[in-house]
Structure 1
Amino acid sequence: MTVPAATLVLASQSPARLQTLRNAGVEPVVIVSGVDESQLDGLPPAELALQLAELKCAAVAAREDVPAGALVLGCDSVLDLDGEALGKPGDPETATRRWQEMRGRSAVLRTGHALRDTATGRVAAATASTTVRFAEVTDAEIAAYVATGEPLVVAGAFTVDGLGGAFVTGIEGDHHNVVGVSLPLLRDLVAELGHAWTSLWAPRPSP
């Protein structure tokens, strides 16, 4: 006999978000939203992250291949450095400039979360914020890191769970949020929609 689980649909292609959820006992269905993240450029970081999360959530929730009664989660992360929203650098030159600006400083990683219950149409949404302190990395370290390609495809040009982890000296707030999804916040959103967090755990044999 197994314990039934609710279905979570992750509207993101981020392998880090997927792994974070799996580590927490959730096995989501992944459906990539295809939302153009550049369409809302110019918004303040927290608002940008939340609106992009809501757009991703809505785009996937409207698809016919979403399992019936699923909870659809859209997320988007940006690094807030002096009020500027820094997303994925995209090219080595941009990534290098960002690291030259970030080293020895602190910034705030903001991740928007939007969760829709497809059975009721209700949506719960919020932004999680975590302060990140960066090491005084050298030009040579920046060049070597950028050459790996990792910082080009992640918000803020860094990871905390990959090669960039050695360049992060401290975190104030939820560590999972920096990886891409705040588990405590997601638990609150799930509860707001009337579900138990533990109902998302993948089926397992009953004791």
Structure 2
Amino acid sequence: MLPFVLASASPARRQLLQQIGIEPIVQPSHFDESVIQATTPTELVRLLARCKAETIAHTYPPPAVVLGCDSVLVMDGNIYGKPASAAEAIARWQRMRGQTGELLTGHALIDVTHGYTSVDVETTQVTFAQVSDAEITDYVMSGEPLACAGCFALDGRGGAFVEKIIGTPSNVIGLSLPLLRRMLARMGYALTDFRPPCI
């Protein structure tokens, strides 16, 4: 069984991997995202995911693969990551309600043994409910939106405020499981290489 290293502190990403039988080694990159300049949301998440994965891959001994991810919500031409405060989260939800945006997640997978890197982006369309100011305030006060790109967690309380998704649900939670499987396959790996055999 090969080590699978997750260059992220996200509990949601860890749980998604556990859901498919992979127990990742969690090694947050602590990469300074402010140093990255990009002209498009796709370029931004690709660069951030790659930098996060490379930060860990350079220090992790083979054999292993390292996964770095980064997510943003794009709406009306604006790029949204995690809100900086409760006030920002409330204001953002007041703009988001009743609207449709795109959740982009960059995935960077590095095969430490062979020095091969694969980077890809998954996009999922998300339509938000027409929620009231009281519902928004209550949700933000729970603290959940402050830890999430896009200011909501599909797999948490925020799931009640999402009316429709077009695309891969796991991508909205933090990483696209189907895309991860395809990226591993391009490197010559199967999911079973990273999980214990079924008994």
- What TM-score do the two structures reach when normalised by structure 1? 0.93
Residue 175 (structure 1) shift: 0.3
Residue 103 (structure 1) aligns with? 97
Moved runs in structure 1, 4+ residues, more than 4 A?
none
Q: Structure 2 residue aligned with 1:128, among 115, 122, 132?
A: 122
Q: Structure 2 residue aligned with 1:21, among 7, 17, 23?
A: 17
Q: Is 2:161 aligned against 1:167?
A: yes
Residue 181 (structure 2) aligns with? 187
The alpha-carbon distance between structure 1 residues 205 and 132, as it changes in their structure 2 partners (threshold 3 A), is closer
Residue 55 (structure 1) aligns with? 51
**Structure 1 CA distance for aligned equivalents of residues 78 and 47 of structure 2:** 16
Gap runs ≥5 in structure 2: none
**Structure 1 CA distance for aligned equivalents of residues 37 and 78 of structure 2:** 10
**Structure 1 CA distance for aligned equivalents of residues 38 and 87 of structure 2:** 21
**Structure 1 CA distance for aligned equivalents of residues 78 and 32 of structure 2:** 19
**Structure 2 CA distance for aligned equivalents of residues 193 and 91 of structure 1:** 40
**Structure 1 CA distance for aligned equivalents of residues 87 and 7 of structure 2:** 29
Residue 152 (structure 1) aligns with? 146
Residue 90 (structure 1) shift: 2.0
Gap runs ≥5 in structure 1: none
**Structure 1 CA distance for aligned equivalents of residues 98 and 42 of structure 2:** 23
Q: Is 2:52 aligned against 1:77?
A: no
Residue 194 (structure 1) shift: 1.4
Instruction: Summarize deviations over 1:128-181 as a string: whole Å, max 9, x none.
Output: 000001000000001111111110111010010001110001110000000001
Q: Secondary structure at the match of 2:155?
A: coil
Instruction: Summarize deviations over 1:2-45 as a string: whole Å, max 9, x none.
Output: xxx22110000000000010011111101010101222255321
- What TM-score do the two structures reach when normalised by structure 2? 0.96
Instruction: Summarize deviations over 1:84-112 as a string: whole Å, max 9, x none.
Output: 21000020111011101110011000000
The aligned runs of 1:1-20 (5 Å cut-off) are 5-20=1-16
Q: How many residues align?
A: 199
Cα RMSD after superposing both structures: 1.2
Residue 198 (structure 1) shift: 2.2
